[in-house]
Amino acid sequence: YVDLSVNGVSGPVNIGEIDGALRISGNSGNINLAQSGRGSSISGNSGTTTINLRRLYAGGLWLSGNSGAIKLYIAAELNAVVKVSGISGSVSSELPDVKFKKIGASDYYARIGSGGPTVNVHGSSGSVLLGRYLE
């Protein structure tokens, strides 16, 4: 268990699985996370953000103001909700039985499994992809 903050890195950021709070902001390289922590927040990054999600804590995951692509690789047993708002890029799902529903001019919603904690993506200009988690 650790709380981790990473700010202003100009290269790639690679973080293994953690249980604590994770705050990443203002980075210009790609971000690769083995798992998001409790109440994690990723904001203002310009590279591609790739996150493997085997579990999602009650506080969910917040991604805001990112300009690169966001790739969420979802484990088969995960139950979650994905809310995308104010996006100027595309949204897509490669998961069986999971489709994004358009609920506003630039707002989308998807339920994974029976629903659960929320992944919030707000004000991003890159694409959002839901894909299958592979070990």
Give every strand in the sheet of 101-104, ordered side by side. 4-7, 22-25, 40-43, 61-64, 118-122, 80-85, 107-112, 101-104
- Please tell me the predicted confidence (pLDDT) of residue 95: 96
- pLDDT, position 96: 92
Per-residue pLDDT of the chain (135 residues; tens, 9 = 90+): 789 999 999 999 999 988 888 999 999 999 999 988 888 999 999 999 999 999 998 889 999 999 999 999 999 999 999 999 999 999 999 999 999 999 999 999 999 999 999 999 999 999 999 999 977
pLDDT of residue 18: 85
pLDDT at 21: 87
DSSP state of 120: E
Question: According to the model, what pLDDT value does residue 20 have?
Answer: 86
pLDDT digits (tens, 9 = 90+) for 84-94: 999 999 999 99
Residue 26 CA to residue 22 CA, distance in Å, equals: 14
Q: What is the pLDDT of residue 125?
A: 95
* pLDDT of 41: 95
Q: What is the pTM assigned to this prediction? A: 0.94
* Structure confidence at residue 35 (pLDDT): 87
Q: What share of the chain is helix, strand, coil (3-state, %, to 5)?
A: 0, 45, 55
